[in-house]
Every structure is written in structure tokens, then in C-alpha cells.
Amino acid sequence: MNFLDFEKPVEELIEQLETLKQVKEKSKIDTSASVKELEEKIKATRKKIAENLTPWQRVQLSRHPDRPYTLDYIQFLTGGDFF
């Protein structure tokens, strides 16, 4: 997943979440409360970032490399693979 410079706080939280999930998987420790807390924090951080975007940051989001392209939508709707 690609992150833009203003999305770095979200990237760091997602990395923490993935690490926590790996710990849960390896050690069988119940981390569901911590996972839920991190997910809520990610959601709140994304909302805060979205509320304070500059016009240029909005353009960057609209051109984000991870955004779906027209062919992605067509493939999803038809269930087919054209290539």
C-alpha cells in the first residue's frame, strides 16, 4: 500500500496494527481490545486528515496510485479478467 506524505500517521498506526496481529497469531495472546482500539484510532486519524486537506492534497488523493482505474471497475462488474 502506498501512502502520501500527509498520510504518514495512518501508515504508522497500520504498521502497529499489523505487528499486533502478528503477535496475537504467534503467541495466542488475546489482543482483541488493543486491535479494536488501534482500528478506532486509525479511523479517527483518517477523519482528522480528511477534514484538514489542502487543495493540493486533494489533488494528490484523486491521483493516488492505489485508486482503482476504469478497467478495475469493469472487471469487478463483469467478474472477468481481460488480460
Higher pLDDT, 60 or 23: 60
Express each pLDDT in 61-81 by its tens digit. Answer: 999 888 888 888 888 899 876
Q: Which of 11, 31, 12 is nearest to 23 (CA)?
A: 31
Give residue-wise pLDDT tens across range 41-58.
Answer: 999 999 999 999 999 999
Alpha-carbon dihedral 77, 78, 79, 83, rounded to 10 degrees: -110
pLDDT tens digit sequence for 4-25: 999 999 999 999 999 998 888 8
